[in-house]
């Protein structure tokens, strides 16, 4: 009997590595994709040796237009039927909008929105036809409010949340579960890549990647929950902003993210 297959984007670091480890521990075969082929190969070798699963490596840069279609075609060419898609790839950028690099922001939109949408479409259509499957899109607590000093990133995550909730409703009677993970500040290396080292946001307590992914995987496999917000502190935060005026919420986010 073949193992079930999970496709994980952004699998070379942070949450992606943890998703790979936890699904391998549950005897899933893996398709690991990210830009860093060496890191993916090392992770694949480690997990195959430890868990006796098969880990396929597909290095690809999802910021390049058309790469999502290429990734899907390569998975299909391997003869694999994808049971789970984890749309984890994504990145952010910190700074005043007039000063930030527009090319980085365009690439961010390509990865966080365009590639995620395309992969959800390609794999989701197959799952609907087969009347089975699960998709987990990684957003953020940033999805619930505007984000001064990270305006584009927050906007992309709001899109991911909205898309996921809509598709969860569309596909709930077609055998396909769609959910969205909304973590808060997490120790993943994200703060370095997003140039957030000087922001107040990552100076306090942050969750560990392992515990965020553990909650996400358990929810995906064992519950009917659509929106997964790991950590009581983050759940309280998200619920509280719903009752505050939007201008106040925006001002609070600005204060939290300002440089030290």
Can you give the pLDDT at residue 40? 98
CATH number of the domain encompassing residue 208: 3.40.50.720
Q: What is the pTM of this model?
A: 0.92
Can you give the pLDDT at residue 240? 84
Can you give the pLDDT at residue 242? 82
Burial 141-154 (b: 16+ CB within 10 A, else e): bbbbbbbbbbbbbb
Token pair 């055998």: residue: 175
Annotated catalytic residue within 39, 54, 122, 153: 153
Can you give the pLDDT at residue 152? 98
* Cα(1)–Cα(102) distance, integer angstroms: 49
Contacts of 169 (CB under 8 A, 6+ apart): none
Can you give the pLDDT at residue 16? 97
The whole domain housing 40 covers 5-257
User: At 27, phi and psi to the nearest 5?
Assistant: 70, 30
Contacts of 77 (CB under 8 A, 6+ apart): none
Contacts of 35 (CB under 8 A, 6+ apart): 12, 59, 60, 61
Catalytic, 54? Answer: no
Annotated catalytic residue within 157, 159, 225, 247: 157
The pLDDT tens digits along the chain (260 residues) read: 577 999 999 999 999 999 999 999 999 999 999 999 999 999 999 999 999 999 999 999 999 999 999 999 999 999 999 999 999 999 999 999 999 999 999 999 999 999 999 999 999 999 999 999 999 999 999 999 999 999 999 999 999 999 999 999 999 999 999 999 999 988 876 555 545 555 555 556 789 999 999 999 999 999 999 999 999 989 998 888 888 888 998 998 898 888 76
Count of domains in the chain? 1
Can you give the pLDDT at residue 239? 87
Contacts of 244 (CB under 8 A, 6+ apart): 252
Catalytic, 153? Answer: yes
């Amino acid at each position: 009997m073949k193992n079930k297959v999970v496709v994980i984007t952004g699998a070379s670091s942070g949450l992606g590595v943890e998703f790979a480890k936890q699904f391998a521990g549950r005897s899933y075969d893996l398709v690991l994709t990210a830009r860093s082929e060496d890191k993916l190969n090392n992770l694949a070798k480690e997990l195959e040796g430890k868990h006796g699963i098969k880990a396929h490596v597909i290095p690809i840069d999802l910021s390049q237009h058309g790469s999502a279609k290429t990734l899907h075609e390569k998975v299909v060419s391997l003869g694999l039927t994808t049971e789970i898609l984890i749309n984890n790839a994504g990145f952010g950028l910190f700074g005043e909008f007039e000063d930030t690099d527009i090319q980085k922001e365009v690439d961010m939109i390509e990865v966080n929105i365009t590639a995620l949408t395309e992969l959800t479409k390609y794999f989701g259509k197959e799952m609907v036809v087969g009347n089975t499957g699960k998709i987990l899109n990684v957003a953020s607590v940033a999805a619930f409010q505007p984000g001064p000093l990270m305006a584009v990133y927050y906007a992309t995550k709001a899109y991911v949340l909205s898309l996921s909730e809509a598709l969860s409703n569309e596909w709930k009677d077609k055998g396909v579960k769609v959910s969205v993970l909304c973590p808060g500040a997490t120790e993943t290396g994200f703060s370095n890549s997003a140039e957030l080292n000087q922001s107040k946001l990552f100076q306090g307590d942050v969750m560990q990647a392992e515990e965020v992914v553990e909650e996400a995987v358990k929810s995906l496999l064992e519950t009917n929950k659509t929106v997964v917000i790991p950590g009581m502190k983050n759940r309280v935060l998200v619920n509280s902003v719903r009752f505050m005026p939007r201008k106040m919420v925006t001002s609070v986010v600005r204060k939290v993210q300002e440089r030290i």
